[in-house]
């Protein structure tokens, strides 16, 4: 039994919709400088452990489950055993994706490789992986283009690369429709690593591409905490923009220090305040998607440490969710927010052009000295928020 699985208010249950990738808890601690520090855990064992810990589901790349060189018979046996474990535990596979980055064939990208044969191979691999995902019940299909990019701009015309990327997404949307798969595609932006620079580096870049696709309604975002943080951005703002556009199809939760390599640390561990506002955003907007952890245990950990990491990720989310409820019920905080509401911060306090309104605003008399003097009390508001987070309120 995992040592952190105590039963209390923060004990995860399937209805919380927490999911992990096979590649996350299955991460053996390899890094660019050192070999694996713990043995590979089998997919069936992962399913059982995650179910025991209270997760809802497990997500996967094609090759997380099926080795690249597996024969058709081996593939069928692996899938059969995996499905049996899902059946036994009730664990679901809500999301699937393709490994388009491990094989050296993708060293210059998959959908944006300059080699058209590689681009066709990437389509073939993705179609097969979409078939597998459907077989396992997945309804969200993620595209993380880790190798889509450049080290030198002498290599490819980035305008052409965008067209190749668009062609691939259009092609695969049509494939999903033709097969009756009904997938929602979720693009996952990242600024760099493993490529020197990756195409579609931010949520905004990806959103803009989506509206140029043949089926924009099928395609949304899978933003990741670490990726926006690497780019020095406020993750909640990007997620809010995706949410507001109806494009938050999935989310990768983890933690990251700015200005570093992609750390993929346990959710909430590096910047609990940012994690708090993210949970607040997701919970207040009643977002119904999966809370997916795309992160892994420190390289120092053995297997027990991996399960501590997994349990800790879910526990932190639930603790922050409780803090959000506390924030929303705090009379002092709500008093300060009501003052802001009275000034016009309430949802729906918007302007819509009409000739009449234009005239009214043109003629409006503003008491600018008073407006300049009027503070916002954000210091007080933030301190109260921090005191909730510090656990003294
Ligand atoms: C890889 C990457 C992640 C992506 C995964 C999906 S694989 O671990 O670092 O951010 O979400 O392809
Ligand atoms: Mn990452
Ligand atoms: Mn990710």
Q: Which atom of ligand 1 is nearest to the CA of 61?
A: 12
Ligand nearest to the CA of 264: 2
pLDDT in tens, 93-113: 999 999 999 999 999 999 999
Task: Report the alpha-carbon distance of residue 124 to residue 184 in Å, rounded.
Answer: 19
Q: Which atom of ligand 1 is nearest to the CA of 99?
A: 12
Domains annotated on the chain, with CATH: 14-328 (3.20.20.150), 330-390 (no CATH)
pLDDT in tens, 68-98: 999 999 999 999 999 999 999 999 999 999 9
Centre of ligand 2 to C-alpha 227, Å, is 6
Q: Give the pLDDT of residue 51.
A: 98
Ligand nearest to the CA of 252: 3
**CB under 6 Å to ligand 1: residues?**
23, 61, 97, 142, 144, 188, 224, 252, 262, 294
> What DSSP designation does 58 have?
E
Percentage of the chain modeled with pLDDT above 70: 98
pLDDT in tens, 335-365: 999 999 999 998 888 999 999 999 999 999 9
Q: Which atom of ligand 1 is nearest to the CA of 146?
A: 2
Centre of ligand 3 to C-alpha 297, Å, is 15
pLDDT at position 116 over 90: yes
Q: Which residues surround ligand 3, an ion (CB under 5 A)?
A: 224, 252, 294
Centre of ligand 3 to C-alpha 52, Å, is 24
Q: Which residue has tokens 């064992």?
A: 45
Task: Report the alpha-carbon distance of residue 19 to residue 92 in Å, rounded.
Answer: 9
Task: Report the alpha-carbon distance of residue 89 to residue 300 in Å, rounded.
Answer: 29
pLDDT in tens, 126-154: 999 999 999 999 999 999 999 999 999 99
Nearest CA to ligand 1 atom 4: 144
Centre of ligand 2 to C-alpha 264, Å, is 5
Centre of ligand 1 to C-alpha 190, Å, is 10
Q: Give the pLDDT of residue 347.
A: 87
Task: Report the alpha-carbon distance of residue 22 to residue 221 in Å, rounded.
Answer: 20
Residue 239 exposed, middle or buried by CB count within 10 Å (0-12, 13-18, 19+): buried
Q: What is the mean pLDDT of residues 242-261?
A: 97
Could you give the residue numbers annotated as active site? 61, 64
Q: What is the mean pLDDT of residues 222-250?
A: 98
What is the band of 7 on the pLDDT scale with cuts at 50, 70, 90? Answer: confident
Mean pLDDT, the chain, as a whole number? 97
Asked if residue 125 lies in contact with residue 100, where contact means CB atoms within 8 angstroms, the answer is yes
What is the band of 171 on the pLDDT scale with cuts at 50, 70, 90? Answer: very high
H/E segment holding residue 95: strand 95-97
Bridge partners (DSSP) of residue 291 are 18
Q: Give the pLDDT of residue 1.
A: 44
The token pair that represents 33 in the structure block: 């400088």
Residue 352 exposed, middle or buried by CB count within 10 Å (0-12, 13-18, 19+): exposed
pLDDT in tens, 272-318: 999 999 999 999 999 999 999 999 999 999 999 999 999 999 999 99
Residue from 126, 138, 188 to probe ligand 1 pocket by mutation (most atoms less than 8 Å from CB): 188
By C-alpha distance, which of 101, 100, 130, 106 is closest to 118? 106
Q: Give the pLDDT of residue 6.
A: 61
Nearest CA to ligand 1 atom 5: 144
Centre of ligand 1 to C-alpha 306, Å, is 18
What is the band of 371 on the pLDDT scale with cuts at 50, 70, 90? Answer: very high
Q: What is the pTM of this model?
A: 0.96
Which DSSP string corresponds to 313-373?
HHHHHHHHHHHHHHHHH-HHHHHHHHHHIIIIISTT------HHHHHHHHHPPP-HHHHHH
Residue from 144, 223, 253 to probe ligand 1 pocket by mutation (most atoms less than 8 Å from CB): 144
């Amino acid at each position: 039994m995992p040592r952190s699985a105590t039963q209390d208010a923060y004990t995860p249950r399937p209805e919380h919709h927490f999911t992990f990738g096979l590649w996350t808890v299955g991460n053996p601690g390899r890094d660019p400088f050192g070999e694996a520090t713990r043995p590979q855990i089998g997919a069936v064992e992962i399913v059982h452990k995650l179910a025991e810990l209270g997760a809802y589901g497990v997500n996967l790349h094609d090759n997380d489950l099926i080795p690249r060189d597996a024969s058709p018979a081996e593939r069928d046996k692996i899938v059969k055993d995996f499905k049996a474990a899902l059946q036994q535990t009730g664990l679901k596979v809500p999301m699937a994706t393709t490994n388009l980055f491990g094989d050296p064939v993708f060293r210059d990208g998959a959908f944006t490789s300059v080699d058209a044969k590689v681009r066709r191979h990437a389509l073939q691999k993705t179609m097969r992986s979409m078939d597998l995902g459907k077989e396992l019940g997945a309804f969200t299909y993620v595209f993380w283009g880790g190798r889509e990019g450049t080290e030198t701009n002498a290599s490819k015309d980035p305008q052409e690369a965008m067209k190749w990327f668009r062609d691939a997404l259009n092609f695969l949307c049509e494939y999903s429709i033709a097969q009756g798969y009904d997938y929602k595609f979720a693009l996952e932006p990242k600024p760099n690593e493993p490529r020197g620079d990756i195409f579609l580096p931010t949520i905004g870049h990806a959103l803009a591409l989506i509206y140029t696709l043949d089926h924009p309604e099928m395609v949304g975002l899978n933003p990741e905490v670490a990726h926006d943080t690497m780019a020095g951005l406020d993750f909640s703002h990007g997620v809010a923009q995706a949410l507001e556009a109806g494009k938050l199809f999935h989310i990768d939760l983890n933690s990251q220090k700015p200005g570093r390599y992609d750390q993929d640390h346990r959710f909430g561990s590096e910047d609990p305040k940012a994690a708090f506002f993210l949970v607040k955003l997701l919970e207040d907007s009643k977002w119904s998607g999966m809370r997916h952890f795309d992160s892994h245990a420190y390289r120092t950990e053995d297997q027990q440490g991996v399960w501590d990491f997994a349990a800790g990720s879910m526990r932190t989310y639930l603790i922050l969710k409780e803090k959000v409820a506390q924030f929303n019920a705090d009379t002092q905080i709500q008093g300060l927010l009501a003052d802001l509401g009275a000034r016009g911060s309430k949802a729906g306090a918007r302007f819509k052009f009409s000739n009449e309104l234009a005239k009214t605003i043109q003629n409006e008399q503003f008491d600018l000295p008073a407006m300049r003097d009027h503070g916002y009390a954000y210091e007080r508001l933030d301190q109260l928020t921090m005191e909730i987070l510090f656990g003294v309120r």
